[in-house]
Structure 1
């Protein structure tokens, strides 16, 4: 089952809690096992552009599409047996301690 794992930074969060593993170890485990297949950090939301097509015209605005009290810092594509396995993997990511992780199951488009 494919999942999009969104990694959010949370500037309001301050914690002395140590993450379960360093990011290098999480990457090695997740990608080495084949449970993470792609991912990357993202540039700051100030560099984002939001695109909408309205009345036959493409409209581009500066910034993210969503309010920015938190910022999408990165993403990973996960291949896990089920949501529980994806949660276990995401729960070990260092940003689960320092930020926020959101998991979204993929909804295949059968064309």
Structure 2
């Protein structure tokens, strides 16, 4: 089964992190990716640009509306993901719990249909 681990964190708090500390956090995420690769669970990963670059659209009744920013105004923003393969949700939870992003934000686990 494929699962998406969606990483959420406070974007404003992240912007205040020094470049040296951020490099350390990115190193932790790279080590996590290597752990997933060794377990045969890694599919893909990517980070997202800040929500200030986002656009939200709707096309109700053929009337395209484009808005600046994300769909929801929340304290934590969707900042990136890991796509993994695991035999079941319990293993996906175990693998997600190893992700260092769980220590500074939340991880939502979603199963692919």
5+ long unaligned stretches in structure 1: 13-18
Total equivalences in the alignment: 100
Per the normalisation by structure 2, the TM-score is 0.79
Whose strand fraction is larger, Structure 1's or Structure 2's? 1
Cα shift at 1:24: 2.3
Whose helix fraction is larger, Structure 1's or Structure 2's? 2
SS in 1 for 2:4: strand
Counterpart Cα distance in 2 of 1:33 and 1:90: 13
Counterpart Cα distance in 2 of 1:4 and 1:79: 9
Divergent runs of 4+, >3 A: none
Per the normalisation by structure 1, the TM-score is 0.80
Match of 2:44 in 1: 38
Whether 1:78 aligns to 2:91 is no
5+ long unaligned stretches in structure 2: 14-24
